[in-house]
Amino acid sequence: MIGLVQRVREARVTVAGACVGEIGPGLLLLVCAEPADTEVQAGKLVDKLLKLRIFADDAGKMNRSVVDIGGGLLIVSQFTLAADVSGGNRPSFTAAAGPELGRACYETVLRLARARHPVVAAGLFGADMQVALINDGPVTIPLRIA
């Protein structure tokens, strides 16, 4: 499973002009399932997301998690994280899970996150989404969960 985490001051996702999910300070997670992914990888991704110490403590060091600060999570599916451009200029997405598995993995990530964290918003799987955010820092961290 591939994730891209951004520490944000705020973030929202809209579909057809309507806001479907938004958070204040917290983490935006873009997530892509791969063909071998299961609930195990989804669980590991949520564990890592909740434990990442990327918020400043009183000394200004990255030492606090989203749980520690009471921040929100905005989780958005993004199969393009699996893009391969090694063969030319047009990306190949064959490394991404197909739509059925992708949706199942995304929904599992959401279910696990919502069971463990009080503020979880989401995009709509397969929709044409617009994501707006104010990246804090900026802090952007790629994750690869095997």
Residue range 67-120, pLDDT digits in tens: 999 999 999 999 999 999 999 999 999 999 999 999 999 999 999 999 999 999
Q: Is residue 142 very low, low, confident or very high in pLDDT (cuts 50, 70, 90)?
A: very high
Identify the architecture of domain 2-133 in CATH: 3-Layer(bba) Sandwich (3.50)
Is residue 15 within 8 Å of residue 119, measured between CB atoms?
Answer: no
Strand partners of residue 143:
3
pLDDT per position as a tens digit, 14-64: 999 999 999 999 999 999 999 999 999 999 999 999 999 999 999 999 999
Is residue 48 within 8 Å of residue 109, measured between CB atoms?
Answer: no
Is 130 a known active-site residue? Answer: no
Note the pLDDT of residue 54: 98
pLDDT per position as a tens digit, 96-106: 999 999 999 99
Please tell me the distance from the alpha carbon of residue 137 to that of residue 106, in angstroms, as a whole number: 27
Position 107: which residue type? E
Contacts of 63 (CB under 8 A, 6+ apart): 53, 55, 56, 57
* Structural domain spans, the chain: 2-133
pTM for the structure as a whole: 0.96
Q: Which of 80, 93, 94, 130 is catalytic?
A: 80
Note the pLDDT of residue 57: 97
Structure token pair of residue 10: 């705020």
Is 125 a known active-site residue? Answer: no
Position 117: which residue type? H
Note the pLDDT of residue 141: 98
Please tell me the distance from the alpha carbon of residue 9 to that of residue 100, in angstroms, as a whole number: 33
Q: Which of 6, 14, 55, 79 is catalytic?
A: 79
Q: Which of 6, 14, 78, 108 is catalytic?
A: 78
Structure token pair of residue 22: 């938004």
Is 79 a known active-site residue? Answer: yes
